[in-house]
Amino acid sequence: MVGSIVHQLTKGITAEEAEKAGLGAYYTDHGLDVYPQSAGGFPFSANAIACKGDPIANLQEDLAAEQKARATYEKLIDLCKDNPDVVDPLRFLREREIVHFQRFGEALRGVQDKLAEKRMFAMGNCNWNNNNNNDCQC
């Protein structure tokens, strides 16, 4: 969707128009292809794919990422407010980030419960169900 927006916003523009819009450098390197980069011109970086090998850290990262994406969409909506054709899909995408944030929060709580459960097992091999036996062999 974002690629489609960029494509349609630049469709058929001339080199002069690209330059006037501040896309001269972009046009030089990529023409009117949709190239994954930041607004500041930095090409896509795998740094964005933060994987820590730790479910809690990863999900917290994801919660923050959804909020950062929401914030970015809000800034874009402000910048594009005169163009309803653009604002409409941006508002849709912004709302999706909020739903994803909600679901990640629920997933995080599930993971925390699961890990807490694991720690309980790690306490030992006590037979908790056996009420007759008081001398636990932990």
**Number of residues engaging another protein in binding (CB under 8 A):** 74
Q: What's the helix, strand, coil split of the chain in %, to 5? A: 65, 0, 35
Interaction residues for another protein, span 118-137 (CB under 8 A):
118
CA atoms within 13 A on the CB side of 97: 19
Kindly tell me which of 16 and 133 has the beta carbon lying closer to another protein: 16
Dihedral angle sign, alpha carbons of residues 25, 30, 32, 38:
negative
Site string for another protein, 5-44 (x = CB under 8 A): xxxxxxxxx---xx-xxxx--x-------xxxxxxx-xxx
Q: How far apart are the first and last CA of the chain?
A: 58
Biggest CA–CA distance in the chain, Å, is: 88
The least distance separating another protein from the CB of residue 137, rounded to whole angstroms, comes to: 28
Interaction residues for another protein, span 77-116 (CB under 8 A):
79-80, 83, 85-86, 88-90, 92-93, 96, 99-100, 103-104, 106-108, 110-111, 114-115
**47 lies in the site for another protein, by CB under 8 A:** yes
